[in-house]
Structure 1
């Protein structure tokens, strides 16, 4: 299978690092023009420089916008232009006991993790439907199905993304536009690497080995028994965005290493 996204224009939110950066790179490698997004102009510029060096000839641009507010989403839409592929990757996470999680934190997670995708999809989907082709992908999480007791607020926001993507797929049914969610499990992103760095230094083990121990301690149902790489998650997203994935819509596609213990 050769995935060719030449002539398609993709917007990947929160794509200056981690899973978002890997997705942006994967889409660019497949021939898509890619719009990078980050919260600061410096992070966007640094990412564009990095990708230009790694992918000579790729067509790249960038927009700085904080998607935790309606104003940030409006600014991104106003500058993005026509988009064929929207990857709603922007999100925040963090440990917090339910009884210590106040309304302000719930609102922050809701606006960043859920409403950013609502706002961008509402703005960009109609043009895709009019053209008769488009892809929208929400980067959810296995935590949307396997709600973590130590960050319920995060899990709820990720469950909401699953409902949103399924509803949007039905709303644009028959249009040639697909809407799906991808559910990563424990992934060796920049955030996880930073969190584990102290243990790497203390133990003398590799980052991958420490991450595997972390996965088995906190997600013992993992079948692969390690953290996934950001590239492994990106590979699934690139496929979901491809022409070949035209019969996959309204789906919640897992890249969780088998953490969610069911057969569906």
Structure 2
């Protein structure tokens, strides 16, 4: 399958590292004009260079904006008024005991993980529908279905994204616009690598081995038996954004390595 997104403009939020940056590279490699996004201007510039290093002569630009707030989303929308592809990737995670999660933390997770995608979809979806083509992808998680007891606030936001993506897919029915959610499992992003450093040092093993140990102890239902790479997750995102995925909409596309113990997607 040859995915060609030439002439399409793709926005990838939270794309200065991890899955977001891998998705930006994958979309650029497919020929899309890519807009990377992050809070820090220096990291945005570094991400632009990383995309260019990976895909020389690609058309890539960046917008520095904190999507936690409506104002930050507005800055991105003002800088890029129209898009053909929107990948709502930005998000935060982190374990915390339920009884220690205060209202401010709940609000922070909700505003960034959920409302950023709501605000941007509200801005970009109408023109996609008018033009008769568009792709919106929400980065959910296996934690949306397999709520972790130590990250209930995170799991809640990822479940919310399944509802929003399914509802928007129905809203866009018959317009040529598809909306899907992608559900990664444990993925070897920079954030996860940081989380595994202590285990690796304590056990005297590599980060990769620590990742395998984590998956086997904390996600024993995993069929893959290791964290996915960011590129493996990005492959699913790029497919969901492709012209070839025209019959895939309203889906919860799992890249979880089989963590969710179900034969039903």
- Coarse TM-score class (shorter-chain normalised): over 0.9
Q: Unaligned 5+ residue runs, structure 2?
A: none
Structure 1 segment 245-264 matched on structure 2, within 5 A: 245-264=245-264
| Residue in structure 2 matched with residue 20 of structure 1 by the alignment | 20
Structure 1 segment 121-132 matched on structure 2, within 5 A: 121-132=121-132
Structure 1 segment 157-168 matched on structure 2, within 5 A: 157-168=157-168
| Residue in structure 1 matched with residue 56 of structure 2 by the alignment | 56
Higher deviation after alignment, 235-244 or 96-105: 96-105
| Residue 72 of structure 2 is aligned to residue 72 of structure 1 | yes
| Residue in structure 2 matched with residue 116 of structure 1 by the alignment | 116
Q: Is the 8 A contact 2:24 2:51 kept in 1?
A: no
Secondary structure of residue in 1 paired with 2:138:
strand
Q: Is the 8 A contact 2:28 2:51 kept in 1?
A: no
Secondary structure of residue in 1 paired with 2:14:
coil
- How far is the alpha carbon of 1:205 from its aligned partner? 2.3
Secondary structure of residue in 2 paired with 1:4:
coil
Deviations 1:124-153 (A, max 9, x none): 001100100000000000000111111111
Q: Distance in 2 between matches of 1:51 and 1:87?
A: 16
| Residue 236 of structure 2 is aligned to residue 236 of structure 1 | yes
| Residue 241 of structure 2 is aligned to residue 211 of structure 1 | no
Aligned residues: CA RMSD: 0.9
TM score, norm. by length of structure 1 = 0.98
Secondary structure of residue in 2 paired with 1:35:
strand
| Residue in structure 2 matched with residue 140 of structure 1 by the alignment | 140
- How far is the alpha carbon of 1:239 from its aligned partner? 0.5
Q: Distance in 2 between matches of 1:154 and 1:63?
A: 26
| Residue in structure 2 matched with residue 196 of structure 1 by the alignment | 196
Q: Distance in 1 between matches of 2:93 and 2:236?
A: 22
Q: Is the 8 A contact 2:138 2:182 kept in 1?
A: yes
- How far is the alpha carbon of 1:201 from its aligned partner? 3.3
- How far is the alpha carbon of 1:53 from its aligned partner? 2.2
- How far is the alpha carbon of 1:82 from its aligned partner? 1.8
- How far is the alpha carbon of 1:198 from its aligned partner? 2.9
Q: Distance in 2 between matches of 1:228 and 1:192?
A: 11
- How far is the alpha carbon of 1:199 from its aligned partner? 2.9
| Residue in structure 1 matched with residue 174 of structure 2 by the alignment | 174
Q: Distance in 2 between matches of 1:53 and 1:189?
A: 19
Secondary structure of residue in 1 paired with 2:34:
strand
Higher deviation after alignment, 176-185 or 196-205: 196-205
Q: Distance in 2 between matches of 1:50 and 1:185?
A: 25
